[in-house]
């Protein structure tokens, strides 16, 4: 498997966005999938952001992006794992990869939001030591989390999803 930094508009990202849209529709109802387009693709580009996919022989396994909130804080968005590859630690490794990139870009804190219908994500972030913070984005029922980048990248390799 191979991590590749790509633009949000690259073909490797299309399966991720389609899967994420379908996932949101299934978990939150009709129209929820439109939220995958709530941030401009340019926000995931250098020098302040990035988007990464994990490929298995050309198949998009997982991915996610980071975008700047301020000079110290980066937000993780669009993190998704193909259902055929879940429960194998890919989300943890993707989060670690994104946090590592964020650190290279000079950020010190990772922030993200997830919803109540994503118990796997809520459990992962809590298990990794993320602190719940007040919602900061457009989703009024989202649970927001924050953690120092060093803590994300130092997460023990045996930690599982």
pLDDT value of position 136: 84
Determine, yes or no, domain membership for 124: yes
Is residue 73 within 8 Å of residue 111, measured between CB atoms? Answer: yes
pLDDT value of position 29: 84
Share of the chain above pLDDT 90, in %: 69
Task: Report which of 134, 29, 121, 130 is spatially closest to residue 79, judged by C-alpha positions.
Answer: 121
Determine, yes or no, domain membership for 159: no
Q: What average pLDDT score do residues 112-127 get?
A: 92
- Domain total in the chain: 1
Is residue 64 within 8 Å of residue 77, measured between CB atoms? Answer: yes
pTM (2 d.p.): 0.88
Determine, yes or no, domain membership for 160: no
Is residue 19 within 8 Å of residue 69, measured between CB atoms? Answer: no
Q: How do residues 2-29 score in pLDDT, each as one tens digit?
A: 999 999 999 999 999 999 889 888 988 8
pLDDT-derived band of residue 139, with 50, 70 and 90 as boundaries? confident
Is residue 65 within 8 Å of residue 53, measured between CB atoms? Answer: no
Burial tier of 107 (Cβ tally within 10 Å: 0-12, 13-18, 19+): buried
Determine, yes or no, domain membership for 158: no
- Start-end of H helices in the chain: 14-28, 90-104, 119-127, 149-153
Q: What average pLDDT score do residues 127-146 get?
A: 88
Distance (Å, rounded) from C-alpha 28 to C-alpha 32?
6
* Domain region containing 105: 2-153
Segment holding 110, helix H or strand E: strand 109-114
Is 36 a residue whose pLDDT tops 80? Answer: no
Is 30 a residue whose pLDDT tops 90? Answer: no
Determine, yes or no, domain membership for 34: yes
CATH of the domain at 139: 3.40.630.30
pLDDT value of position 154: 62
pLDDT-derived band of residue 33, with 50, 70 and 90 as boundaries? low
Determine, yes or no, domain membership for 161: no
């Amino acid at each position: 498997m191979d991590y590749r930094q790509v633009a949000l508009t690259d073909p490797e990202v299309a399966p991720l966005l389609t899967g994420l849209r379908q996932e949101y529709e299934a978990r939150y109802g009709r129209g929820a999938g439109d939220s995958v387009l709530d941030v401009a693709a340019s926000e995931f580009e250098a020098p302040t952001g990035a988007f990464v996919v994990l490929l298995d022989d050309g198949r998009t396994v997982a991915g996610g992006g980071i975008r700047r909130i301020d000079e110290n804080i980066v937000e993780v968005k669009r993190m998704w794992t193909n259902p055929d590859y879940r429960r194998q630690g890919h989300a943890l490794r993707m989060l670690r990869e994104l946090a590592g990139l964020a650190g290279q870009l000079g950020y010190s804190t990772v922030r993200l939001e997830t919803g109540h219908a994503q118990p796997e994500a809520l459990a992962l972030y809590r298990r990794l030591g993320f602190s719940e913070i007040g919602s900061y984005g457009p989703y009024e029922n989202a649970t927001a989390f924050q953690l120092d980048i060093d803590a994300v990248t130092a997460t023990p390799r045996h930690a599982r999803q």
